[in-house]
Amino acid sequence: MSKKAQETPPKLTPKQQRFVQEYLIDLNASQAAARAGYSKKTSDQLGYQLLQKASVQAAIQQGQKKAAEKAELSVDWVVGRLRTVAERCMQNEPVLDRKGEPVLVETPTGALAPAYVFQANAANRSLELLGKHVGMFPDRVEHTGKDGGPIEVEMSDMEVVRWMAAMFDASYLELQEETEH
């Protein structure tokens, strides 16, 4: 595939474009669907359905790539910071003051030594979120039933009818919105 073909934005309805914009804010499909103007009652299902569309996925990937370029984030940058965090946590690198000088603390014997205090949890969490935001660490969860088989769900006949009606209504409304544009 040519570079130009990869950079061409996918064809989306205005509502789908709004969903992509909203999804890139917090990576929450249900909330993004509701904020984009889809029904709040069916935003869970619609958010999921929108994420299954290849055109929406492509637009999200393009948005994440643009966000990474704008923030000048790369896998190398994040990995480099993770290495720094690990080195500090293992006390391989002293804490420095604003002038670049080691911060000195008094030891129990009265001698001065470089400080090695660092809050690794906060640093790791922020790096994880940055990496996740630009698509470096996608969440992949596999759901299976007993012994790796399919998930079995027991529903009464009335629950099945209600579920089918809700799915039909959501699909019909989405199709109707797409044909209007």
Q: What is the pLDDT of residues 95-137, one digit of tens each?
A: 788 998 888 889 899 999 888 766 677 677 777 777 777 777 7
pLDDT at 17: 93
**pTM for the whole structure:** 0.45
Where residue 16 falls among pLDDT bands split at 50, 70, 90?
Answer: very high
Task: Tell me the C-alpha distance between 11 and 29, whole Å.
Answer: 19
Query: Would you state the structure tokens that stand for residue 26, as one six-digit string?
Result: 């917090």
Cross-strand partners of 114: 104
Question: Which CATH number is correct for 1-70, 3.40.50.150, 3.30.70.100, 3.30.450.20, 1.10.10.1400?
Answer: 1.10.10.1400
Helices in the chain by DSSP H: which ranges? Answer: 3-7, 14-26, 29-35, 43-52, 54-70, 75-89, 120-133, 157-180
Domain ranges of the chain: 1-70, 73-136
